[in-house]
Structure 1
């Protein structure tokens, strides 16, 4: 049996962290769904920047829209929405197959410029939700402190949310709280909550990239590559507790489903580690792992699908204690990674808007 499909047998959903038109035009995405059992897709500004600037597949659309009074950002979102709708339609059968669980979602992110602005985030989340107009889309909102109210508000309005850029346990708990509070608001308003879905995207490999050199300095090299996994395991323990609570049970009785944990940034950055490290170690029930194409191909080739997320919980706790003891402040690290993460999305986003502007100028020059 296909190794990637085996992961789904163990209760975890594999989503693809990638989108471009070629993937859909060639039927490659369809075969990932059919053969590998890929059950969803995530995108971000960096992925779209790469798709649009490295191919000619978008030129016609940009040309057509260049003649309108759309802003460059509006042109980008119109192009992105088209792609997201297509992908959502390809995943519709997965979404409609309720027996195998809540999947088939495709994620589109609000502008990273609004990462610290709740009001603009919620406004854009509403307009993208309306524009894509598919029940199996998730709007990505960063899990920053300022955006927590936007997450709660969006859930209360019945918008599926993928909360992105999570690096720490405290913030993860705050996000789970925003989800549950949003469901309660919605239920209180007499609205149905049985169609809503959300994931909390915990970023993995970036944590190790930052922490590992610090471990080396403090003679704790044996913990290299362990901290992110230990944090993920702790987050999963919290997830199980939160969604088994009496408080959530009331919502579950009205049809609500838990907000699943999604492992993001699971491509291996350190060549000293296995290229499937962050897939193999994080397989656990009712979770999602969104993987880059290279990682997916690597796992199909040589990955081992076994349940590991709930193994050695005590070891995970011990790793985190040791790290704190040597003065590595994981809350400060989470904050630094969040700030860098916003930056890492702003740069390609700005580049993307610039690229559209250039294509637009080229077109208008030709027209005149």
Structure 2
């Protein structure tokens, strides 16, 4: 019985069984309704998709819509697909600039900051560039790094205008973006999306500045061959779509275009759109030779065995992602533990999880 609006409670076992049967019947009807809806949805999708797959502009259906009236056409298309894939592979290989093994260099190229050094070598900058730049600025005594709490870092600008003039322009762009270019300016890095987004935006500004700098100093120029390859791959993507939709005839006609696109994917790799000029190759030789030492591909570290020289190279090791190998290389060559810089206020310099590189990690 209902009582003052309270929820209804069955008075007997028969009523309970009746309610249970009603609920079971409702559930069964619901399952049937869902099954019918799914079947109707699948049928609708099938009706929409099958004309696209089997050729909407032709009355042919099934295998005839794919290969046409002759299997000879299919054989020719398969052969063309192999040739197109090979042509795409050759184009991908030609997009990669062939450079010789660089001579060993024990220090950074004069006047180049970490981001510039990486850009000259790789033609792009990675996620390690922001941390490397902050370490470089701290090593140059224009910013102060303070570990406020576990994973919470404060970067404060302390450099005078005279000191900032000695800093490379790309590092200055990053400092300006974070608001630490002037004395007293503070940026807080804590690994949060907010600080990570600011770092990402600063990294984009650095990347744009690197491109402008490389073009202005005639170090890198666009690769015409690579851009033609990219345009051709984009055109083939459109033609492949038209082919598989049956617009060009049997849908197998889209296969050669897809084969070329697959083979030519390398033309879209980072850095393939640029080529070093003769001047750029000279600068690249110095930067790449230094990276060769940092990464441990050289058996000696030369003047970097001196404490000050080793510490000055640490930011560059971070930008190439080889900081741990650089410290191991120092320990192997000198027999001593890698020195710790005075400008880094923590023992977590090489720790990816708790150091500055974690706190200043860029976020999208």
Normalising by structure 2, we get a TM-score of 0.21
Normalising by structure 1, we get a TM-score of 0.21
Give the structure with higher Rg (CA).
2
The answer to which structure has the higher strand fraction is 1
Q: Return the structure number with greater relative CO, CA threshold 8 A, min gap 6.
A: 2
